[in-house]
Structure 1
């Protein structure tokens, strides 16, 4: 049986994890910038690993598809990426679609309610996000590209990875991150004490409904917490999430099957 050649984007931390976890009997990993992937480069699937890679990966897939008509990936379009990558725009879009009760409340200008989250509109891995617990934590000036949002209590954070193709969820994987403290910013500073598979039952219905309402196609991951008031969404990342490498073979098999079927 021939191996499926997978064209991944370059990524300094995810590449070693993918290479270590990939079933080399089933898949061959190739890492590239996508712009150099020509029609002469045979591959079965393209997988961007960061938001800037999505557009060039889509272009590389389209070039390959023109040679034989076979799809090489399902990726969100530019509008979907821009909407989900902008945390404030995402909040407003979901509110307009009727999902506002799932979101932490926005704080209006002059409203003081500690603790709250000061959040940059764009950024990965906790960049540009801080917990403001008291007046002593207030910044001297509010960063221009930021907004204030209600802090969500809870020491556990969840991530739900989803692949939606042709209007159907074709792959799902959920993890629980035990942070060890209620108010943290998971990322470069606050690391989880443990990561383990989790039941996605509380989130799969609402998250699927959101993707349906958005018409989102491709790979994404929702970050959320479970509170006494129910599910609270933190953000939607319109890309391959880092913890997806924990089941890289399952994800690749499901993506290839979705493209074939």
Structure 2
């Protein structure tokens, strides 16, 4: 039986323990810098801040992780948008706006953070303080009740695993996360989005696990963010993910 070490995460740990195939894998959870990674066949950080602690596993062939530079790039939503624009992927980036946009609605975002924390939909004048906080930026809101998630594992220059989901937010301008919860979630074939996201990872030279969040606007991909980590909706297919990851090591 192969041993899998996951980082700590209060909601993902019990779900992983429930869904992983215990006949094939022994799952453990720990602070990654407090254990000997050589005792495990695969090490999977569940949070961005756990990635550095997992790096000793890379040298032992127990993990594939994105570089520190790519973790920092993806973790900074504004920097990622600018990087995409500069490298010819501007068509997937909803328009970046100035400090006092004249059109509504738009979304005010924190450059770093997940679960929608620090993001706020601005519907009209007076809802935004107009500050020039360097940790905040503004971007055109992409309408549509459906938000998509595409989980990808890229190793050795190729996509080794992927799975997509569609979230029905029940409203056209929801901010999925802490404030707005989806009415439903269902598996979905990512279609052309798979190739578009794979092209972005190719341009980055990205290796490891990531999660693309996006919407479709008249059929065109509009990227919301890229998380350089294991995403929460992977827990239901964690056995398939672990199997693909082990096979690619």
Tell me the TM-score range normalised by the shorter chain. Answer: over 0.9
Q: Could you tell me which runs of 5 or more consecutive residues in structure 1 were left unpaired when the two chains were aligned.
A: 66-70
Q: Distance in 2 between matches of 1:183 and 1:148?
A: 15
Q: What are the equivalent positions in structure 2 for 1:60-139 lying under 5 Å apart?
A: 60-62=57-59, 65=60, 71-139=61-129
Please state how far the C-alpha of 1:242 moved relative to its aligned partner: 0.3
Q: What are the equivalent positions in structure 2 for 1:1-261 lying under 5 Å apart?
A: 3-38=1-36, 42-62=39-59, 65=60, 71-139=61-129, 141-228=131-218, 230-259=220-249
Q: Distance in 1 between matches of 2:128 and 2:111?
A: 18
**Any conservation in 1 of the 2:150–2:162 contact (CA below 8 Å)?**
yes
Q: Distance in 2 between matches of 1:114 and 1:11?
A: 36
Q: Distance in 2 between matches of 1:206 and 1:167?
A: 15
Q: Report the TM-score when normalising by structure 2.
A: 0.97
Q: CA RMSD in A?
A: 1.2
1:184-240 Cα shifts (integer Å, max 9, x gaps):
100011000000000111310110000000101000000000111611010100000
**Any conservation in 1 of the 2:146–2:166 contact (CA below 8 Å)?**
yes
Please state how far the C-alpha of 1:138 moved relative to its aligned partner: 1.7
SS of equivalent residue, structure 1 residue 101: helix
Aligned length in residues: 249
Q: Report the TM-score when normalising by structure 1.
A: 0.92
Q: Could you tell me which runs of 5 or more consecutive residues in structure 2 were left unpaired when the two chains were aligned.
A: none
Q: Distance in 1 between matches of 2:57 and 2:20?
A: 22
**Any conservation in 1 of the 2:116–2:176 contact (CA below 8 Å)?**
yes
Q: Distance in 2 between matches of 1:112 and 1:247?
A: 44
